[in-house]
Structure 1
Amino acid sequence: MLPKYCLAALAVLFTQAWSLTCQASPLVVAGDEDYPLSIHTHAQYLRDGNNHYNLSDLEAMDQVFEPLPNDRAHFGYHSEGIWMRFQLKFEAPSSMSPAQENQISMVRKYLEVGYPILNVARLVYRDHEGNVQDLDLGFKHSFSQRPVSFRHPVFPISLPHGETTTFYLNVKLKGGSLKAPLRLWDYQSFHRHLAESDFYFGTFLSGLLFINFYSLFLFISLKERIYLTYTLFVLTSYLSAVSLSGHGFEFFWPSMPKLNDGILQFSFSLAMVCFIQFTREFLEVRTRFPKFDWLLKSMSIYWGLIALLAATTSIYFGRVVTASMLPSSLVYLLAGVLMLGVERRKAKFYLIAHSSALAGLLLYSLDQLKIIPSTLLTQEGVVLGLMVEVIVFSFALTDRINQEKAQKYYAMVAERDALVKVEETKQEMLYIGTHNDLTGFPNKVLFKEKVIQKLIENTPFTLCMLHLSEIKEVNKTLGHKNGDAIVELYAKDLNDYLESSSIQNTLELNEKGQFYAAQIDFSHFAFILSCSKEDIDSHGFKKQFSNIPSEVKYQNMNIDLQPFVGMACYPEHGEKYSELHKALNIAIEFAERASKNFAMYQPQIEANSERRLILTSELRRAINNDLLTLNYQPQLDLKSRRVVGVECLIRWIHPEYGFIPPDEFIPSAEKTGLITELTYWVLAQAYKTFISLKSSGILLNFSINISTRDLRDVQFCDKVAAIVPDEADRKQMILEITESSIMENVQESLQVLNNLVKLGFRLSIDDFGTGYSSLTYLKKLPVEELKIDRAFVTNFKENEDDKKIVKTIIEMSHSMDLYVVAEGVEDLETFDQLADLNCDLAQGYYMCRPVKADELRSSIIEAEKNVNESTNTQAG
């Protein structure tokens, strides 16, 4: 029997020993401690699965409490409530005298539960009078109920001197990783800690808000989606950080415990969605890695669903969120690694930023899973990593802006260099196009420009044109080389003579000298005199100009060139350049016919004046009665050798005068205003032919000339739209206008031309190269096609300068995406050289003469056949 009693006694002794072991000794709090004191290392815990224990139950179960599983008060993932038991005893410091000790009855301390997101943080104990103190500072209660305004639950407690007080703390977390580190503070150290916490939070808040507003400003300014996604990412990240740290409940939604209960998982999930979108924009994943982009989209949907469920249900996804963070972060890291092979600079920024966030997230996750010890670094890893990530990404976006600025700068420099080169080419081309290649004198283009400038000044002046009537005989006798030399000598003598005159007008001053005359062609010169018709009629003028050079001394020969001069005065003989130019030609023809050195234009010497009046009066009747006809000249594609379009050319067979050239009645139509009615008639006839060809399966472009008068007609756009009602058909109608016509009123012309393009018509510049401002305004014109003036094409196979001009025009037009049509192609050699220069279309007698509508089908076939046979013959 003795052994049984012995065993029983041993069991009782073991039970008492275990009870004494579980009931740890109280923590002695002295007045001279270094605060804060870690309380949880002296605590025991008890699981309360049903959350039904009260103070009496707990006091009766002291022997059931167990030591904490670790020294961090970290209990891992579970939804059970935990009761922590600890004892505190205040003793006066040894330095205090007995009298001072007797004066101390109670000491006030602060008990901090160092985890901000507890749903339940309830402290229960009996005070020195035996009264039960019960206070819950968890999330389910309003923040205003907290006795101390701090992000962590803080309980003010009073400790009696020399007595031991037992405290019971109930903590619970809704589905998260539960921990409850306890610290004890005195008054001074706690408020110092409170001030430091507010300072750090204020710094954190200010930094993130600054970054957020800066990125929002960038989005508003630049309208780029990347800055919007970054702004939303920073905002949701900030919301996650303040939710996790407890600052959100403290400062932003203190009266909304229900919101506080679910906002952490919602904001964190939403932050992941925003970061995914930012990653897609920042790394340009959609265009560079389309397959990988599908993975990011799927992840975005996954996190979006978690955010939606968190916002609309009471389900807690803490374990799911924690488990999903690490693989998601690794996917983001992979995106950065992929980017290294495409754009290293951007990839480095991304990897550095995300690696810092990943490191913080990894530390926090491992801490939550109780894999590593819990420290300030692991507890605040998410916030610290986020701060570094946001700062690095801010630098990355700033660098992106700088890179874009640099790219724009280099692009601008390249564009400037290209423009300088284009401008130099344009100036060279302009010089070639406005100067005679033999003498270097201004040519007819520059002369016309100067005359128009004089017309704008609206002061009287006189135009003179000089014809060297004997230069052809000189060429026949001495040859073209000597003829060229003689013309050069005469040009210099004429310029010197005009320079000595008191009424000359400078046409141009450049590095080659000052020029008073222009060379219109090989045998014609023109100049401007600053005098009126009355001055010319005076005796002094006739005496002064009686000495105009007529002979040239060349190789010991005095060669008489017999110059004749025609004159026309502004405004007596015309108010437009065309009128004055015509008057000049009439005057010089009269001078040669009458063998007079000088001849002033007079109406009575105009042989065709009566005929012109008759034709002007009969033109309207011809339009109204369809007495005009329309011919069509094919335009052939130089690459395909196929006819792709026609130009519409008006013809007038008068019953009395027979064939009337367009050059004779078109100017009269312009002057009287009949030109617009004529344009409508041409367009209507052309459209009829177009429809006829279209119905038989032939689809061609139809080019129709329009004039300055047409552009001034306020109803012009409406009327041409009514004539060609089908917008698809309008795209086959090409309206041609000369550049000089546009220049008469640039702004008004541009507006009408833009309206025509909107209606569906296409535009072409006719006779390009003869206008004085074409290069300046060409970019502004909504044209698709450019027709080189026949003056440059007809002889360009023999004239290198004309060939250079044609080549430059073609290259410049193609650089501006314009088609080029060459007029005046008269032979196979010209045709082939234009093809070598990459000209697009050719038009001229070599392919086909203008034909009537009923002959057009057969002429197209014949033109294509002739060209192809000639090409094959040449190749053979």
Structure 2
Amino acid sequence: MELPFRYQRSTLRAIRKNKVPSTGRRWRHHSVHLNRALSLLVAVVVACLSLEVLAQPEPTEITPAANFQSHFQYWEDTAGDAQIDQVVNLPDDRWSLVANGSAAFGITQSAYWLRFAVRNQTPLNLNLIAELGYSQLDDVVFYVYADGAPVKELKTGDSRPFYPRDVDHPSVLLRLSLASEEMQTVFVRVATAGSMIVPLRIAREQSFFETAAYELKLHFFYYGCIFVIILINLAVYLSLREKLYLYYALALLGYLLFFASIKGFSFQHLYPQSPALHAKVLLVSIPALALFSLLFCREFLNTRINSPRLDKVLIGMMVFELLFLFSAPFLDYQRGIQLASFSALFFFSLLLVAGPVVWAAGVRAGAFFTLAWTPLTIGVLATAGRALGGFPENFFTENGMQIGSALEAFILTLALADRLYREREDKIAAQAASLQEAQSRSIAQNLLTEALTHDPVSGLPNRNRFEWMVDQQLQQAPERRYMVGLARITRLDEINRTLGLARSEWIMKCVAQQMVELAAALPFIQAIRDDQGREERVYHLSGDCFCLLVDIDKAGNDFSALNTALRRLAEPIWLDHLAIELQPSFGAASYPEHGQSAAELIRNAHVGMEIAPRDGNQTGIYSPKYDIYNESRLTLMADLRNALQQNQIMLYYQPKQDLKTGQIVGVEALIRWHHAERGWVNPADFIPLAEDTGMITQLTRWVIGQATRDLAELHNDNPQLSVAINVSARDLESSELRDVLDLALQQSGLQARALTLEITETAAMLDPLRSLQALNGLAELGYQISIDDFGSGYSSLSYLKQLPASELKLDRSLIEDICISESADVIVATAIQMARSLGYRVVGEGIENAETALRLKANGCDLLQGFWLCRPKPISELKQWLQAFEADERAVRSSGP
């Protein structure tokens, strides 16, 4: 079908007559009337710029030259029900010309028919691509005619599944194949619920793909840059946890989603068979980018402080965008696009004003934001004008928002970098001010921590570190099998008495070094590194005992290498030409068979050591069958309950002496139990059982009642005395403890300050928050709080200093060697100085000789108790001892100069 070409410029009135039919339309909403008015205005502008009336279309001539101009004619089908046969027979005066090949008709409910002809004037067969370069067209149908007969029909558009298409490309494309001197006429029906933009381009196939590849590179360069900026900001957010960088990354992600949707890339690559989802994603992306941009703006400009009125407006806009975001999936596409277009106008205008408002207040961020948002707003206005039909179709109106967003991202990235740099400088300045103070405090705490977690002789980590390491390992990998192995130097006491402490310590250092070297060659020995990067494999459990953790799964049940190492450890050590036999004993307990915690495994490994054969260097493996300590566990608590009911439990008291005045200022209540069959039962055997079974609560209630009655009796002759009562972690958890104490004071007539409640540092650390609350409540009532056995556990000093304690008792294991070991003396002196600096009264317990007492007094210790002063005594004997002590004191004072 060959149509002769003839230009005839029409008047504006003629165009208006041809374009808009006189039949009325049914408009149901006010927004539709507004769109109609905009469409009329756009039609006038577009007509003035690019439209001409054609009597008949001139075909696009394909010549050997590389470039040629595309143009088309269009006819508006206001009812949207015209068929191809009707359109083909339309008179020429019903068609309007778009000479530059691109037109924008705004948001309209009409369908538009395009008509163009293509003639091949080359001697070759040609493959051409006809492109409608706007991917958001919903329904596009191509009808190709040659010599007046239909040769091809193609239905496409983003309301249909993406595949199949003539060309795998986001735009709406049609392949045309023309023989030499052949002409084809193409009719295109276009209908869309959004903006009607129809940029037509006809190109040779090779030229089209070269141009498309170049455009694709530009697009993905843009997407890549934005994606890198998103990743950087997410990394900064994860590092600093500042919401500003998260909001910025999410806003940029919204832009990516919007551009990928409106350009058709997401439809093409992510959900090509879901056109309905494609429309919803585009609608959701618009309020999403707006919402996170508003959040970023509010955080970046700090409008809560810099401009409270602006902050309220931003919050209102955020509420609107949030509602839009949740309702977008349920909105009609046309109404959603209309709402998005008009809300974007207010949104971008608001943020364009926000920057200067904050800038005028003297905030540096306002200048950056203004510079960044201006090009984006211009780009958005250009894109929106194109979508509404107000601006012509060209490179800037098509890509203005992308160009603006790229400039905005670049400027705001510089702004965030500037902000990050300034915040970093401020933090460095603030940290530098406190660094010196923290450094000295840290050094002191590290020294004390080192003393509490490492053996002073061997330098190896001690029991506290070993239990912590084992428990951590069991928690992290409970499905694996482990074995706790112990090695005890049985002749250490004999070597110490024979050769002296210095040589004995030298031998222990040699043994420790040898064990570390042997363990390093065994890959199945569990190893960790401490805070200083030192490797820990072997631990010094006590004075003569070492331990380690074996990964049984890694060893594969082959312990030949370990047995070889143990035999080497049993070899004599040469000292001054003497071969010293160490006679080590080995024990082991396996997880999970022999215990579920470090303490339980260590205990059972000790039991295994006791049942090891004495001939040779074999390792004793724990077996419940040979655990003699378990025989009494079934009946011991029942016997204890009966003993309490029958008043068979006794209290012994050990005095505490003030080292400055020499006076006896208090006594500690110590529980004693004489079993009818077993004789005297060690408290270490039944107190832990009582704590495990909950029996400790009844036991503590009895001790408080008996101790207060005894103290009231002692006050008749010694009113200055106080009594110390041991309180367990279970007692602190009990809500009855305060009531029991109050009742005991009422019955005895004592004051709360006469009672000192002793709690071990280990018990205080079991549930720090609960313990702290309970002790604070007791201290407020006037009870004295004492931290018992300090130095036997691994506590947090920052926590201990929060306890409302007035007294700290050094554990006997910490002070027993201060007269013979310089390192032990330094540790005790440091602990005393630290405790006194924190306001504690320091008590040394377990004093067995005058030399130790004098050393503690010289180091600043306040009180002492121990066998050297007095063994624990029942109340009757304690009275006699106190009378004798006072008589001796009076005699000493009277005989003095």
TM-score for both structures, normalised by structure 2? 0.50
What is the alpha-carbon distance in structure 1 between the residues aligned to residue 365 and residue 833 of structure 2? 42
Q: Verify the 8 A CA contact 1:717 1:755 in the aligned structure 2.
A: no
For residue 394 of structure 1, give the secondary structure of its aligned residue in structure 2: helix
What whole-Å deviation, never above 9, does each CA across 1:369-419 have from its counterpart, x for those lacking one?
444443211211112222222333333334443333222211111112555
Shift in Å at residue 716 of structure 1? 13
1:352 pairs, out of 356, 371, 392, with 371
What amino acid sits opposite 2:121 in the alignment?
E
1:745 pairs, out of 745, 769, 790, with 790
What amino acid sits opposite 2:227 in the alignment?
L
Structure 2 residue 96 is the aligned partner of structure 1 residue 67: yes
Q: Verify the 8 A CA contact 1:44 1:85 in the aligned structure 2.
A: yes
Q: Verify the 8 A CA contact 1:87 1:166 in the aligned structure 2.
A: yes
Shift in Å at residue 703 of structure 1? 9.2
For residue 116 of structure 1, give the secondary structure of its aligned residue in structure 2: coil
For residue 805 of structure 2, give the secondary structure of its aligned residue in structure 1: strand
For residue 349 of structure 2, give the secondary structure of its aligned residue in structure 1: helix
Structure 2 residue 310 is the aligned partner of structure 1 residue 265: no
What is the alpha-carbon distance in structure 2 between the residues aligned to residue 751 and residue 380 of structure 1? 62
What is the alpha-carbon distance in structure 2 between the residues aligned to residue 243 and residue 618 of structure 1? 80
Rate the CA distance shift 1:127–1:750 in 2: closer, same or farther, 3 A: same
What amino acid sits opposite 2:245 in the alignment?
Y
Rate the CA distance shift 1:381–1:624 in 2: closer, same or farther, 3 A: closer
Larger Rg computed on CA atoms: 1
What is the alpha-carbon distance in structure 2 between the residues aligned to residue 413 and residue 159 of structure 1? 78
The count of aligned residue pairs is: 527
For residue 143 of structure 2, give the secondary structure of its aligned residue in structure 1: strand
1:310 pairs, out of 320, 325, 328, with 328
Shift in Å at residue 715 of structure 1? 10
What whole-Å deviation, never above 9, does each CA across 1:258-283 have from its counterpart, x for those lacking one?
22233222211222122222223333
Q: Which residue of 2 aligns with 1:52?
A: 81
Q: Which residue of 1 aligns with 2:804?
A: 762
Shift in Å at residue 653 of structure 1? 4.1
What is the alpha-carbon distance in structure 2 between the residues aligned to residue 200 and residue 66 of structure 1? 37
Q: Verify the 8 A CA contact 2:126 2:204 in the aligned structure 1.
A: no
Rate the CA distance shift 1:53–1:728 in 2: closer, same or farther, 3 A: same
Q: Which residue of 2 aligns with 1:237?
A: 255
Rate the CA distance shift 1:146–1:338 in 2: closer, same or farther, 3 A: same
What whole-Å deviation, never above 9, does each CA across 1:24-44 have from its counterpart, x for those lacking one?
451342333333x4423xx22
Q: Verify the 8 A CA contact 1:732 1:762 in the aligned structure 2.
A: no
Q: Verify the 8 A CA contact 1:55 1:125 in the aligned structure 2.
A: no
What amino acid sits opposite 1:267 in the alignment?
S
What whole-Å deviation, never above 9, does each CA across 1:496-537 have from its counterpart, x for those lacking one?
xxxxxxxxxxxxxxxxxxxxxxxxxxxxxxxxxxxxxxxxxx
Q: Verify the 8 A CA contact 1:128 1:160 in the aligned structure 2.
A: no
What whole-Å deviation, never above 9, does each CA across 1:106-162 have from its counterpart, x for those lacking one?
432111112111112222231248234221221122221211111211111133443
What amino acid sits opposite 2:397 in the alignment?
T
Structure 2 residue 760 is the aligned partner of structure 1 residue 711: yes
Q: Counterparts in 2 of 1:603-642, with a 5 A limit?
A: 624=707, 626=709, 628=711
Q: Which residue of 1 aligns with 2:407?
A: 388
Q: Verify the 8 A CA contact 1:123 1:134 in the aligned structure 2.
A: yes
What amino acid sits opposite 1:32 in the alignment?
P
Q: Verify the 8 A CA contact 1:764 1:786 in the aligned structure 2.
A: yes
Q: Counterparts in 2 of 1:650-661, with a 5 A limit?
A: 652-654=715-717
Rate the CA distance shift 1:423–1:342 in 2: closer, same or farther, 3 A: farther
State the percentage of identical aligned residues: 19
Q: Counterparts in 2 of 1:5-154, with a 5 A limit?
A: 22-35=54-67, 37-40=68-71, 43-68=72-97, 71=100, 72-92=102-122, 101=123, 104=124, 106-128=125-147, 130-154=149-173
Shift in Å at residue 775 of structure 1? 10
Q: Which residue of 1 aligns with 2:586?
A: none
Shift in Å at residue 348 of structure 1? 3.0
Shift in Å at residue 361 of structure 1? 0.6
What amino acid sits opposite 2:374 in the alignment?
S
For residue 182 of structure 1, give the secondary structure of its aligned residue in structure 2: strand
For residue 123 of structure 1, give the secondary structure of its aligned residue in structure 2: strand
For residue 29 of structure 1, give the secondary structure of its aligned residue in structure 2: strand
Q: Verify the 8 A CA contact 1:766 1:787 in the aligned structure 2.
A: yes
Choose 228-237 or 725-734, whichever is displaced more: 725-734
Q: Which residue of 2 aligns with 1:870?
A: none
What is the alpha-carbon distance in structure 2 between the residues aligned to residue 44 and residue 282 of structure 1? 50
What is the alpha-carbon distance in structure 2 between the residues aligned to residue 144 and residue 751 of structure 1? 67
Q: Verify the 8 A CA contact 2:119 2:181 in the aligned structure 1.
A: yes
Shift in Å at residue 321 of structure 1? 1.5
Q: Verify the 8 A CA contact 1:29 1:90 in the aligned structure 2.
A: yes
1:280 pairs, out of 298, 308, 320, with 298
Shift in Å at residue 629 of structure 1? 5.4
What is the alpha-carbon distance in structure 2 between the residues aligned to residue 334 and residue 47 of structure 1? 40
Q: Which residue of 2 aligns with 1:513?
A: none
What is the alpha-carbon distance in structure 1 between the residues aligned to residue 399 and residue 259 of structure 2? 9
Q: Verify the 8 A CA contact 1:285 1:292 in the aligned structure 2.
A: yes
What amino acid sits opposite 1:117 in the alignment?
Q
1:205 pairs, out of 209, 218, 223, with 223
What amino acid sits opposite 1:142 in the alignment?
P
Q: Verify the 8 A CA contact 1:690 1:702 in the aligned structure 2.
A: no
Rate the CA distance shift 1:65–1:765 in 2: closer, same or farther, 3 A: farther
For residue 73 of structure 1, give the secondary structure of its aligned residue in structure 2: strand
Q: Verify the 8 A CA contact 1:717 1:756 in the aligned structure 2.
A: no
Shift in Å at residue 778 of structure 1? 6.9
Q: Verify the 8 A CA contact 2:54 2:96 in the aligned structure 1.
A: yes
Q: Verify the 8 A CA contact 1:69 1:75 in the aligned structure 2.
A: no
Shift in Å at residue 233 of structure 1? 1.9
Q: Verify the 8 A CA contact 1:28 1:91 in the aligned structure 2.
A: no
Q: Verify the 8 A CA contact 2:53 2:93 in the aligned structure 1.
A: no
What is the alpha-carbon distance in structure 1 between the residues aligned to residue 133 and residue 83 of structure 2? 24
What is the alpha-carbon distance in structure 1 between the residues aligned to residue 765 and residue 103 of structure 2? 90
Shift in Å at residue 212 of structure 1? 2.8
Residue segments in structure 1 that go unaligned for 5+ positions in a row: 1-13, 93-100, 427-456, 461-577, 587-607, 631-650, 693-699, 789-876
For residue 149 of structure 2, give the secondary structure of its aligned residue in structure 1: coil
What whole-Å deviation, never above 9, does each CA across 1:621-655 have from its counterpart, x for those lacking one?
9975736459xxxxxxxxxxxxxxxxxxxx8442x
For residue 709 of structure 2, give the secondary structure of its aligned residue in structure 1: coil
What is the alpha-carbon distance in structure 2 between the residues aligned to residue 616 and residue 44 of structure 1? 108
What is the alpha-carbon distance in structure 1 between the residues aligned to residue 157 and residue 143 of structure 2? 14
What is the alpha-carbon distance in structure 2 between the residues aligned to residue 109 and residue 414 of structure 1? 73
Q: Counterparts in 2 of 1:671-686, with a 5 A limit?
A: none
What is the alpha-carbon distance in structure 2 between the residues aligned to residue 686 and residue 117 of structure 1? 80
Q: Counterparts in 2 of 1:525-540, with a 5 A limit?
A: none
Shift in Å at residue 192 of structure 1? 0.5
What is the alpha-carbon distance in structure 2 between the residues aligned to residue 314 and residue 255 of structure 1? 20
Cα root mean square deviation, aligned: 5.3
Q: Which residue of 2 aligns with 1:556?
A: none
Rate the CA distance shift 1:751–1:652 in 2: closer, same or farther, 3 A: farther
What is the alpha-carbon distance in structure 2 between the residues aligned to residue 165 and residue 307 of structure 1? 46
Q: Verify the 8 A CA contact 2:762 2:793 in the aligned structure 1.
A: no
Residue segments in structure 2 that go unaligned for 5+ positions in a row: 1-13, 19-51, 446-499, 504-655, 673-702, 732-736, 810-827, 843-897
Shift in Å at residue 48 of structure 1? 0.8
